[in-house]
Every structure is written in C-alpha cells, then in structure tokens.
C-alpha cells in the first residue's frame, strides 16, 4: 500500500484498517459513537492551524479531518447504509440546491435576497427530512416545530448559546441594542454576588450560567464572535503568564515560589510591553498532537 493524491487510495486504506483478522485492532473496535470525539477534536485542530496561520499544519490537520469523514463513511458502508460516494453526492446535491443563483435560474439576486432564499431552501429541506424520518418510522426531531429547533445538543455551550440567541432573535425575541444587554450583564453579576453571599453552590452555578449567556448575547449584539474573543483572551493570558514565568526563572524562581504581588507586577509589565510594541506580541503555539498518528494502531 503506497501513499497517493487519489481519494480512492485513502478509502482503500480505511477499508484495510477495518478488515477483520488482518486490520488494525483499534480501528476495528470503533463505532460511530466512539469516533465522534476524535472528529470534533480534529475540527478544532484545523481551527487552531488557521488561527496560527500555519499552512503546513493546516494541510496535515485537514487530512486528519478528512480521515474522520472516511472513517464514518466506511462504518456506514459496512452497515449497508451509505458509503463515501453517497456522502459526496449528498453534499454536492445540497450545494447545487442551495445556490440557485449560481447553478440555477435565480440569477442577479441581491445579497439580502440570496440570504433569504438560503433560509427558504433550508426550511424546505427540514420539512422533507421530517417526512423522510416519518416514512422510515423514526421519531420526530425533538421540538421540531420550535423556533429553537436545529441547534445540536453536542455543540460547545458557548456556540450553542449563540445559535439559540440567533434563532430567538429571528422571531423578535431579542434586545433592541447592546446597551440593554450590558445592563442585563450587570444585573446577572449582582445575582452572582448574592448567590456567593448566600454560599449556595447550586445558585452560584445557575447564576454564572446566566451571566455567561448574557455576555454571549452582548458579543452577538456587538458583532463579535464570542468563541474567537475568548480564544484571543486565552492566548493573551498564556502569553502574559509565560512572561511571568520567564522573568521569575531569571531570578531562579517559579510562580509557586513567588508571591502574588511579584506576579501582579510582572503581569502589568507584560501588558505594558504589549502596548509599547503590539506588532511584536509573540503568538502562542499550543502543542499539536497528530491525531492520525496517535490512533494509527
């Protein structure tokens, strides 16, 4: 078996890995459910490579993500449900169907009309999917008629909050402007303080959830992707904390051996350096684990 640029070779390799007796024991014992966490992980590693503008890593991570698609398709083929060709056909049909302004007769549409048409086509697809599920004797999707339907439960909580808010906003359940959301955040922060004062652990968790939901809403109203905003803050925290570690190491100290006052001073120093030379801020490169290699056998 040799490497190739042909997708058919990847499909052949996956088939070999899943062949009883001669295949890989780890690959053979996997199911849709056990592979899903790796699929999600690989998608995040693609996002990480993009964020670091590392095109070499991006090429590798896209390959790892493609492997996940091929893996699921192979398991579907073994069950007689679908194969990789069916997956490709499904997405090509969807792309053509959702772009009548490119592949059909609905030409010269405004961006607003294109967006509206996309929503209409998706709504029609949803009805057809519901009919197909009913014909197959499958249960209807939960809350299928709700305005909030279609937001997957497994989404990261921050992403799901944003999607739920966007859907609610489409039917008019929304704040008028960001200042109202900011007032809501202040209200929720006060409720967190009250729960902390009462030492009620359940209430503290509940109120912090409300606060996070409100902050996500503020980001949406401000036109900011909350996931990207938090990712940037995470990177900034790592960058500044590493500055603390580096400066302390020069004094033969570790953060555990230093006091909070020393670390606060070095934190402020890191902030001042960033403001003085913003273009020189080092990028944080988290360790990337090659998922395909780790799970090769």
Say what the pLDDT of residue 295 is.
38
Q: How many CA atoms lie within 13 A of 275 on its CB side?
A: 6
Question: Residue 170 above 80 pLDDT?
Answer: yes
3-class DSSP state of 137: coil
Number of neighbouring beta carbons within 10 Å of residue 264: 11
Concatenated DSSP letters for 76-130? Answer: HHHTTS--HHHHHHHHHHHHHHH-HHHHSS--S--HHHHHHHHHHHHHHHHHHHH
Per-residue model confidence (pLDDT) at position 141: 65
| Mean pLDDT across 110-128 | 84
The predicted structure's pLDDT at residue 143: 52
DSSP-derived secondary structure letter, 219 = H
How far are the Cα atoms of 13, 169, 174, 184, 227 from residue 166, in angstroms, in the given order? 42, 5, 9, 17, 15
Helix or strand (DSSP H, E) at 61: helix 55-78
Q: Which residue has the tokens 């409100």?
A: 214
Provide mean pLDDT across the span 135-156.
77
Cα(293)–Cα(297) distance, integer angstroms = 8
pLDDT of res. 289: 33
């Amino acid at each position: 078996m040799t490497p190739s640029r042909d997708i058919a070779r990847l499909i052949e390799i996956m088939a070999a890995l899943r062949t009883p007796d001669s295949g890989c024991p780890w690959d053979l014992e996997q199911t849709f459910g056990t592979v899903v966490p790796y699929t999600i992980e690989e998608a995040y590693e693609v996002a990480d490579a993009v964020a670091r503008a590392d095109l070499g890593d991006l090429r590798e991570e896209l390959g790892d993500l493609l492997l996940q698609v091929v893996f699921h398709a192979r398991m579907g083929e073994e069950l007689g449900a679908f194969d990789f060709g069916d997956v490709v056909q499904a997405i090509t049909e969807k792309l053509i169907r959702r772009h009548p302004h490119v592949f059909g007769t609905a030409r010269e549409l405004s961006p607003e009309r294109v967006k509206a048409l996309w929503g209409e086509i998706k709504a029609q697809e949803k009805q057809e999917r519901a009919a197909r599920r009913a014909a197959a004797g499958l249960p209807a999707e939960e809350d299928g008629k709700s305005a909030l339907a279609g937001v997957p439960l497994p989404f990261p909580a921050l992403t799901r909050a944003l999607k739920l808010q966007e859907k609610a906003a489409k039917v008019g359940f929304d704040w008028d402007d960001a200042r109202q959301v900011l007032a809501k955040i202040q209200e929720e922060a006060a409720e967190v303080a009250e729960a902390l004062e009462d030492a009620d652990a359940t209430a503290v968790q509940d109120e912090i959830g409300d606060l996070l939901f409100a902050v996500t809403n503020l980001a949406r109203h401000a036109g900011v992707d909350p996931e990207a905003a938090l990712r940037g803050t995470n990177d900034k925290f790592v960058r500044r904390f590493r500055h603390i570690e580096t400066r302390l190491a020069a004094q033969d100290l570790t953060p555990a051996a230093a006091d909070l006052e020393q670390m606060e001073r070095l934190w402020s120093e890191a902030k001042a350096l960033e403001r003085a030379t913003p273009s020189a801020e080092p990028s944080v490169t988290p360790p990337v684990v090659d998922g395909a290699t780790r799970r090769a056998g």
